[in-house]
Amino acid sequence: MTIGALLKQYRLENGKTQKEWAAGIVSPSYYSKVEQNKHRITAEDLIAVLRANQIGLWDFFQRLDDSEQQQFDEFKFVDHAINQAWYQNDQAKLKEIRQYVEDSTMANQDKWLLYLDAVEVEINNQPEKLSAEKRARLQEWLFDFTDFDETKLRVYINLMPFYDLDSNLLFSKKVIAKLQKSDKSRHQAELLGIIGNLLIDLIKAKRYEDTGWLIEAAAKVATRPELFFYKNILVLLENMVNYHFDHQDKYLEKCEWAIKNFTLIGMPEYGNEVDSFFRQYCD
């Protein structure tokens, strides 16, 4: 099925107009021509439209004709599909993605399979099952600044739990300084993702004195709709830190609202995971 035809099918199934479905990402007139296969839509805009309408990226991609799949950067879809499966704790979907990568000829296939290994053990909360040899390979790939690129940055954000906190802090200071110079939404999302992961680790380690510079760095990033997920988790983390230093109920109330937001935006599984973290580590 073509991209336009599949978008139209999903839209009609959800009872939305073209304007509602386009969600302000592209103009209604442009989107109308996409459905008619008269205009192409970029991978970034397609992913944004699917996310705005809560359509699974991998499910959509797999239903496209082979020729349609080839229009887009294969990496972008695999990368976003892995992240979506990660946040939804969808192990079955990760297995489908692994099979796709194994059968593909995509660049850096061995590294993506290694990445999937790491994601799967993290979802199962069994980091010890990732061998020392694989961890070393991951660290060599991710921490080598002579070959540091955007792909590695995306991978690093999700694999931070595999490395010690002090190494992550040292490495992240360089990355944060680099990303703060960019006003691109994707770079700001990556910046907030790194800051969020570091704050989680610092709270677990009860190293609250090291959180200030990270909270200040996050505050400098302007809030945009596409950054809502990251900003919401940072509301939780900042107020957990605030509560540690000053036991006022207003900080707990903000934490509770941040947790509820995940369920409201259609991520109840992640909301439950965040709630468990809050109950265990808020002091």
Q: Is the pLDDT of residue 250 over 60?
A: yes
Q: Please state the length of the chain.
A: 283
**Nearest 5 degrees, angle CA 77-CA 21-CA 58?**
20
pLDDT digits (tens, 9 = 90+) for 103-155: 887 777 888 898 889 888 878 878 778 888 988 888 777 766 555 556 566 66
User: Which of 22-36, 70-84, 177-191, 253-267 has the weakest average pLDDT?
Assistant: 70-84
CA atoms within 13 A on the CB side of 151: 16
Is residue 148 within a helix (H) or strand (E), and if so which, with residue range? none
Tell me what pLDDT residue 115 has: 85
CA distance 241 to 244: 5
Q: Is the pLDDT of residue 239 over 70?
A: yes
Cα–Cα nearest to 79, from 130, 144, 153: 153
Tell me what pLDDT residue 255 has: 97
Other CB atoms within a 10 A radius of the CB of residue 54 amount to 10
Q: Which pTM was predicted?
A: 0.57
CA distance 16 to 53: 10
Q: What are the E-state strand segments in 56-191?
A: none
All domains of the chain in start order, with CATH: 1-72 (1.10.260.40), 73-136 (no CATH)
Tell me what pLDDT residue 150 has: 61
Tell me what pLDDT residue 203 has: 97
